Structure 1
Amino acid sequence: MPPANPRRRHHVKLITAGALLAVLAIGYFVFAGPHASEISSNGHMAHSEATAPREPGQSAFAAVAEIVALLDADPQTDWSKVDIGALRAHLVDMDRLMLDATARATIAGNTATFRVSGSGEVLRAIQAMVPAHGRELDNLVGWQVSSETTSDGALLAITVDNPSEIERIRALGFFGLMTIGSHHQPHHLAMARGTMTEH
């Protein structure tokens, strides 16, 4: 029987070693799971930005968290006046208005009138928020806006100079109109600072 070729024996060893390493690598990733690459040099899990969740999961929570971060970052914040409770109450009212109120529109010429109604806490939210937002809408160029509270909610009347705006108002409806303007965010910050109390 001829002696074994040393070169061949060397190749067999290399192939065997390579196969063993491949099996070990596959086993590691199967048993360690997708987070194996996140283990840091000190043995702890390193949570990367790519895997960290960003969605807070609830809109009021997100709004409060944003305001708290701004207050924390501002060295001029007077913590003796900060009122996060007032901001939360306002956000609850926003939910009640947007989700539980009923609005009916009447269009006559260049005027759109919205009758907004609800009961209980929804009624209170309507009467707090509709007049306040009406004053903001009245600042828009070419719009004359008036509002009044009623026994079951509020009336919001908008008269426009440009007749084509009526189609926009009709399309937006009451709930779309409530989102117009960029005053909400500064209003929330002022409310949390304790420098503004109205809705």
Structure 2
Amino acid sequence: MQFEERPVSSETVFRGHLIEVEVQTVLTPQGRQAQREIVHHAPAVALLALTADKQMILEKQWRAPIAKTTLEIPAGKVDSRDQASADHAAVRELNEETRYQADRLTKIAGFYTSVGCMDEYMTLYLATGLRPVDHELPQDADEQLALQTVTLDQALAMIDRGEIEDAKTIMAIYYWRGMKND
């Protein structure tokens, strides 16, 4: 069975600070024309940051697309400061957002965040052996974050109560639950 669509035309309809939106006309394998709206976004990283006392770091922040605050793991985009390195971005974001550095940074998984409309690829890391940074990097001027730590049981209960709704954070918590906790 053939799945691949063939682009016939393409137009960039928006170019912003964070995203670019492209409208494609495609030819489906059945020979029909269809329209695809694609949001292009830089690669991103997210961190399951675990403290020595087995708690995870969460950030409370405002999210304009859903018009409310969320609880999320530290995350951010891979940008020009990182020279296309997700590992570098993970170290930088951990510093900027939590003021910690990790003795161990382990890649958990890479995934597309919303394949129906977006090409953003995110790499999820486990950060352990946390200690305060020696040199604080500047935080993003447009971000206001409040940090908190929670245990695994608290995090799972927060998902059940609908207090944590962010997909990358839920994925990280379920990964944490599946880790061998000796």
Normalising by structure 1, what TM-score? Answer: 0.22
Kindly indicate which of the two structures has a greater share of residues assigned to helix.
Answer: 1
Q: Which has the larger radius of gyration?
A: 1
Kindly indicate which of the two structures has a greater share of residues assigned to strand.
Answer: 2
Normalising by structure 2, what TM-score? Answer: 0.23
